[in-house]
Amino acid sequence: MSVFDGLSTIAESASGLILSPLRTAGRIVGTGLEAAGKVVGSLAEGDLRGAANNYVDGVKKQVGNVGQHLKDEGSNLKGLSPATATTP
């Protein structure tokens, strides 16, 4: 790995670190809107069980969004480590 490859990896990780919260916020908003639409649709049909199931599914997806965000942040922080920029 050359110095330029290491610097490229660091730059990529830094941009990922900056953009990751924005991507996660977009996922959270999208999942919230999707779940809310399903819940409201089920309630409009009088299906309380379906509404509850849709709500639980939405919560599970939100937990997945947060878990993915933490994984992305960990990968980005790992890419910023000084060992990344050094040559073997």
pLDDT tens by residue, 41-76: 999 999 999 999 999 999 999 999 999 888 888 887
Whether the pLDDT of residue 35 is over 90: the answer is: yes
User: Whole-prediction pTM value?
Assistant: 0.67
Strand segments, DSSP code E, in 20-66 are none
For the chain, give every domain's residue range. 3-79
Q: What pLDDT was estimated at residue 5?
A: 65
Residue 55 near residue 67, CB atoms below 8 Å = no
Residue with tokens 């050359």: 2
User: What's the half-sphere exposure (Cβ side, CA atoms, 13 Å) at 21?
Assistant: 3
Expressed in angstroms, the distance from the first to the final Cα of the chain is: 7
